[in-house]
Homo-oligomer: A and B are copies of this chain.
Amino acid sequence: MTQRNVLEAINNALDEEMSRDPNVMVLGLDVGKLGGVFRATSGLLEKHGAQRVVDTPLAEASIIGASLGLAISGMVPVAEIQFLGFTAQAFHQIGPQLARYRTRSRGRFHCQVTIRAPFGGGISSPEFHSDAVEAQFVQSPGIKVVMPSNPYDAKGLLIEAIRDPDPVLYCEPDRIYRLARMEVPDGAYTIPFGKAAVIREGADVTLVAWSAAVELCLLAAGRLADDGISVTVVDLRTLVPFDVETVVSAVARTGRCVVVHEAPLSGGFGAEIAATLASEAFYDLDAPIARVAAYDVPYPAAPLEAWYLPSVERVVAAARKTARQ
């Protein structure tokens, strides 16, 4: 056991998998000497060599497209897209190519590719660096979408992603990269996809979130407890596969639900959760399902982001209103 933050947990997962399997390789912009713009790949070049830790030309579509081909050749690429917003440049290589290759080849080929991408607001980044566009990949069947929220999960889910024979988009919440350390085992371990975690149990309202928004929910839970409102917090961990069962049963127990995410409201994955509940937990619902999200505007310039992003205050207000309805 070592105390690690999210970034250290990711770095450690990469190092463990590269040490275990000589075909695992890391490629992307500035992942080599620099160790990535956040230093997530720091030390890997020195340890595993320039054939396996590769600074690529500045062209996201070719990073993903080449990873597909590398996977077919027998390598196990872990591609870094410097910021999730720049998956837009590679969009045609992700859903339409990487995600569909198994289907297109009717199972002859599959793509064991992990795409790592930092994202999320709150750190005063330039445009595109903060965009929470995870929902744009939900309509691309064939790829899994993984959203860790803490160091332990970050390592276990990343090792699972690297070993998954299918492509995985692994989104890293950069705002909490260095937020806090927790006990993270030294050896390899995996956390299965499609299993949400109930990280706090309460009787009145269920908060559902993923990635950095989980932290918001935990802060809100503390404040709500002071008000006498006891909440369940569900950390979805993966959007695809979506663990309908855990969410439905958690909401069934409280009868009330608030979904929280840092992406804009309209068309966010919160809509999928609420829609699923409106279908599968309908008779257990005692109040309208609330969503707390960013507003439906482009991610704003740094000085405006605190107003744009969902805040602990907004989560608390929505949960109070939901509990009392």
Cβ-closest chain B residue relative to A131: B96
Q: For residue A85, which residues in chain B have a CB less than 8 angstroms away from its CB? A: 96
A275 and B268 alpha carbons, distance in the complex (Å): 10
* A179 in the interface (beta carbon within 8 A): no
Q: A139 to B141, Cβ gap below 8 A?
A: no
Q: A139 to B288, Cβ gap below 8 A?
A: no
Cβ-closest chain B residue relative to A102: B298
Q: For residue A103, which residues in chain B have a CB less than 8 angstroms away from its CB? A: 297-298, 300
Q: A138 to B282, Cβ gap below 8 A?
A: no
241-291 of chain A: CB within 8 A of chain B: 242, 263-264, 266-280, 282-283, 285, 287-291
Q: B139 to A139, Cβ gap below 8 A?
A: no
Q: For residue A298, which residues in chain B have a CB less than 8 angstroms away from its CB? A: 99-100, 103-104, 141-142
Q: A139 to B268, Cβ gap below 8 A?
A: yes
A263 and B99 alpha carbons, distance in the complex (Å): 16
80-129 of chain A: CB within 8 A of chain B: 85-86, 88-89, 91-92, 95-96, 99-100, 103-104, 127-128
Cβ-closest chain B residue relative to A91: B91
* A2 in the interface (beta carbon within 8 A): no
Q: For residue A300, which residues in chain B have a CB less than 8 angstroms away from its CB? A: 103
A139 and B86 alpha carbons, distance in the complex (Å): 15
46-97 of chain A: CB within 8 A of chain B: 85-86, 88-89, 91-92, 95-96
Q: For residue A268, which residues in chain B have a CB less than 8 angstroms away from its CB? A: 139
Given contacts A242-B266, A271-B275, 7 further A-B contacts (CB under 8 A): A86-B92, A88-B96, A91-B91, A270-B275, A274-B279, A275-B289, A278-B288
Show the binding face of A for B, using Cβ within 8 Å.
Answer: 85-86, 88-89, 91-92, 95-96, 99-100, 103-104, 127-128, 131, 133, 135-136, 138-139, 141-142, 240, 242, 263-264, 266-280, 282-283, 285, 287-291, 296-298, 300
Can you list 29 A-B pairs, Cβ within 8 angstroms, ordered by A? A86-B92, A88-B96, A89-B92, A91-B92, A96-B131, A99-B298, A100-B127, A103-B298, A103-B300, A133-B139, A138-B267, A139-B263, A141-B296, A141-B297, A271-B272, A271-B274, A271-B276, A273-B275, A274-B274, A275-B275, A275-B289, A275-B291, A277-B278, A278-B278, A278-B288, A279-B289, A282-B285, A282-B288, A282-B289
